Amino acid sequence: MTTAAGDQTLLIVDDDEPLRTRLARALEKRGFLVATAESVAAGKAHAAASPPAFAVVDLRLGDGSGLDVVQALRSARPDVRVVVLTGYGNIATAVAAVKAGAVDYLPKPADADAIEAALRARTQTMAPPPENPMSADRVRWEHIQRVFEQCDRNVSETARRLRMHRRTLQRILAKHAPKD
């Protein structure tokens, strides 16, 4: 199925009802024809019944991963432009979202202007550098978290792969993410 010129259909999949409602109203004012869903199941059903030209999908939903909805949308309509939103952002999930077919990945809280810009962006060139890039400490922490998840949260295996002492790794994992 190809995008018809001027197709402004948009699906918002998020389990946070107030956010979903506010975002739907804001994007309707910007010319989108908005439909909403609150779960993976509802998002997949909507994707199968009437695939939209655009979608905004939360990464973590009550009944599973928003990436399943992204894949269902891509299967139903290969040219769909999907933006993934999450309050649990890290490099590994951003990469997974893009591999699943998302055109962008935005951390919550994202405003309607940023979401619209990401949905409508058509360039395939490199994005401009972020105004507030992650600090080196944050990048290190993200890398450690990714390897930890890949090792099925096994501290000893993660420490071995990162070539660090197990106790040092445990201290790092016990701390919260560094501020950006």
pTM > 0.75: no
- With 50 as the cut, is the pLDDT of residue 12 above it? yes
- CATH placement of domain 136-174: 1.10.10.60
What are the tens digits of pLDDT across the range 47-64?
999 999 999 999 888 888
CA separation for the pair 109, 87 (Å, rounded):
7
- With 50 as the cut, is the pLDDT of residue 44 above it? yes
Radius of gyration of the chain (CA): 18
What are the tens digits of pLDDT across the range 136-151?
888 888 889 888 988 9
159: burial class by Cβ within 10 Å (0-12, 13-18, 19+)? Answer: buried
- In the predicted model, what is the mean pLDDT of the chain? 85
Would you tell me which CATH number, out of the four given (2.30.30.790, 3.40.50.2300, 3.40.220.10, 1.10.510.10), belongs to the domain 9-120? 3.40.50.2300
What are the tens digits of pLDDT across the range 86-140?
876 677 777 888 888 888 888 877 888 888 988 888 755 555 666 777 778 888 8
The ranges assigned to domains in the chain are 9-120, 136-174
DSSP structural state of residue 54: E
Polymer length of the chain = 180
Q: So what's the pLDDT on residue 89?
A: 67
Nearest Cα residue to 131 out of 180, 58, 82: 180
